[in-house]
């Protein structure tokens, strides 16, 4: 590596390191505040530590691409604003020469991201969900935010707006224990406590609909005790698509594709075939999404360098604003594609590649313009 390449690459590496530290600190502050509250409320420190540890790879997948994007924009924007790029052109130095090592760095980070997405994050994702499914309502109550349903109990679903100690506010319980009717129980407040493996909830100012499976109608009560049996017993966890490593995901896709073919040959019905096709589409989308997200560091290096040179700005505010716009567009399209994952008609496995195609097309257009 010659002096010029070493100068540009070292500047980029330094900027990436600093940007990554800043982004990690910003995310960590929020996590520390939440974790402190969980520990105060009684969640074991070992459990909290394990949750944090298995979440690190997912955090890297977000902070590394963003750090690369911001750093590329700032470093090459400063080089352009200080007329160093113009001086290189005047000396007959091709722009590709100074971009080569940053591109190699982006490829290295993309390879790391590919490994994390396919081999590290999936088992961690499964571990976290299994922990949530096995620690019981008391811990699930601490880990889940108010306003979200807790589905960890057999035949019961619970939601609450806020929590203070053992007291829950604005409680909603769905009772599915009877197959013929779903009971809805609402209460202004409730106190939850465990008796052996059962969860006992003392409800205050209660509304029950229906009163019982054989008595339709609404009933009101000042106080009512509701028991969820065996709430702390270990619950089964069904592996999801996101929990599978790459080879497992590939085998699942082959099985799903074969199942669709068999359904068509055996005339198992349109509804059954549609369900199998939807599952196949979700698996195929997950495979493509992992590879697409792994391309983010490389795409962001290319876009950051070309837009940085084009902007002729050394101010950090301009660079950060441009980085945010690029990142929002990149991940917004990925979110839209994921919302269509179960709808094969829209080809979500191809839509998810639009951010990568757009970044490469823009970079290939701007690089000759910057020569």
The predicted-structure confidence for 202-257, as pLDDT tens digits, reads as follows 889 998 888 777 777 788 888 888 887 766 554 555 678 888 999 999 999 999 89
Q: How far apart are CA 345 and CA 357, in angstroms?
A: 21
CA angle 44, 48, 51 (to 5 degrees): 140
- pLDDT in the model for residue 142: 56
| 21 and 102 share one domain | yes
Q: Copy the structure tokens of residue 53.
A: 């540890």
Read off φ and ψ for residue 194, nearest 5 degrees.
-100, 140
Q: Which residues contact 350 (CB under 8 A, 6 or more apart)?
A: 288
Q: Judge whether 244 lies within some domain.
A: no
| 108 and 155 share one domain | no
Under-70 pLDDT residues of the chain: 1, 34-35, 37-44, 47, 130-145, 152, 194-197, 230-238, 268-269, 311-320, 370-371
| 203 and 316 share one domain | no
Name which of 275, 272, 280 is nearest 249 in CA terms. 280
Burial class (CB in 10 A: 0-12, 13-18, 19+), 365: exposed
Q: Judge whether 296 lies within some domain.
A: yes
Q: Identify whether the C-beta of residue 146 lies closer than 8 Å to the C-beta of residue 163.
A: yes
- CB environment 65-101: b (16+ within 10 A), e (fewer): bbbbbbbbbbbbbbbbbeebbeebeeeeeebeebbeb
Q: Judge whether 267 lies within some domain.
A: no
Strands 183-195 vs 219-228: parallel, antiparallel or unpaired: unpaired
Q: Copy the structure tokens of residue 165.
A: 């100690």
Q: Copy the structure tokens of residue 162.
A: 């806020």
Q: How far apart are CA 177 and CA 212, in angstroms?
A: 11
Number of domains making up the chain: 2
Name which of 226, 220, 217 is nearest 199 in CA terms. 226
Q: How far apart are CA 221 and CA 208, in angstroms?
A: 8
What is the biggest distance separating any 2 CA atoms in the chain, rounded to whole angstroms? Answer: 90
Q: Judge whether 259 lies within some domain.
A: no
Q: Judge whether 337 lies within some domain.
A: yes
Q: How far apart are CA 204 and CA 57, in angstroms?
A: 43
Domain end residue (candidates: 166, 198, 228) = 228
Residue 160, classed as helix, strand or coil, is coil
Domain end residue (candidates: 165, 200, 228) = 228
| 162 and 127 share one domain | no
**Can you tell me which residue has the tokens 């979200």?**
148
Q: Judge whether 165 lies within some domain.
A: yes
| 22 and 110 share one domain | yes
pTM: predicted TM-score of the whole model, two decimal places: 0.70
- pLDDT in the model for residue 234: 47
Q: How far apart are CA 326 and CA 308, in angstroms?
A: 12
| 190 and 87 share one domain | no
Q: Judge whether 249 lies within some domain.
A: no
Q: How far apart are CA 233 and CA 242, in angstroms?
A: 25
Q: Which residues contact 107 (CB under 8 A, 6 or more apart)?
A: 298
Q: Report the DSSP beta bridge partners of residue 346.
A: none
Please report, for the chain, how many H helices and E strands are present, in that order. Answer: 12, 7
| 324 and 364 share one domain | yes
- DSSP string covering 83-125, please? THHHHHHHTT--HHHHHHHHHHHHHHHHHHHHHIIIIIHHHHH
Burial class (CB in 10 A: 0-12, 13-18, 19+), 19: buried
Q: Judge whether 120 lies within some domain.
A: yes
DSSP at 213: T
Structural domain range at position 201: 147-228
Q: How far apart are CA 81 and CA 96, in angstroms?
A: 19
């Amino acid at each position: 590596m010659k002096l010029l390449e070493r100068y540009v690459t070292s500047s980029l590496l330094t900027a990436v390191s600093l940007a990554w530290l800043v982004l990690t600190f910003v995310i960590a502050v929020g996590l520390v505040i939440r974790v402190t509250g969980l520990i105060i409320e009684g969640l074991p420190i070992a459990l909290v530590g394990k949750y944090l540890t298995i979440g690190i790879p997912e955090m890297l997948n977000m902070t590394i691409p963003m750090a690369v994007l911001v750093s590329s924009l700032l470093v090459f924007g400063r080089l352009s604003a200080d007329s160093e790029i113009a001086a290189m052109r005047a000396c007959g130095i091709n722009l590709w020469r100074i971009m080569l090592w940053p591109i190699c760095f982006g490829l290295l980070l993309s390879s790391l991201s590919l490994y994390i997405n396919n081999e590290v994050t999936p088992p961690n994702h499964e571990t976290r969900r299994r922990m949530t499914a096995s620690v019981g309502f008391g811990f699930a109550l601490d880990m889940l935010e108010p306003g979200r349903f807790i589905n960890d109990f057999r035949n019961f679903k619970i939601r609450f707006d806020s929590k203070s100690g053992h007291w829950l506010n604005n409680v909603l319980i769905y009772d599915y224990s009877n197959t013929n009717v779903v009971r809805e129980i609402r209460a202004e407040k409730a106190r939850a406590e465990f008796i052996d493996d059962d969860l006992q909830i003392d409800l205050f100012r209660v509304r029950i609909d229906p009163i019982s499976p054989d008595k339709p109608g609404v009933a009101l009560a000042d106080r009512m005790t509701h028991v969820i049996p065996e709430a702390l017993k270990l619950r089964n966890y069904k592996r999801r698509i996101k929990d599978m490593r790459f080879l497992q995901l590939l085998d699942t896709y082959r099985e799903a594709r074969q199942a669709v073919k068999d359904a068509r040959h055996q005339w198992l019905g349109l509804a059954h075939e549609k369900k199998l096709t939807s599952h196949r589409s979700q698996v195929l989308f997950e495979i493509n999404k992992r590879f697409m997200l792994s391309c983010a560091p490389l795409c962001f290096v290319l876009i950051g360098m070309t837009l940085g040179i084009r902007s002729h700005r050394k101010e950090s505010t301009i660079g950060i604003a441009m980085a945010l716009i690029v990142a929002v567009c990149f991940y917004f399209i990925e979110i839209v594609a994921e919302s269509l994952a179960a709808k094969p008609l829209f080809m979500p496995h191809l839509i998810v590649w639009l951010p990568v195609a757009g970044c490469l097309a823009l970079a290939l257009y701007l690089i000759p313009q910057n020569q």
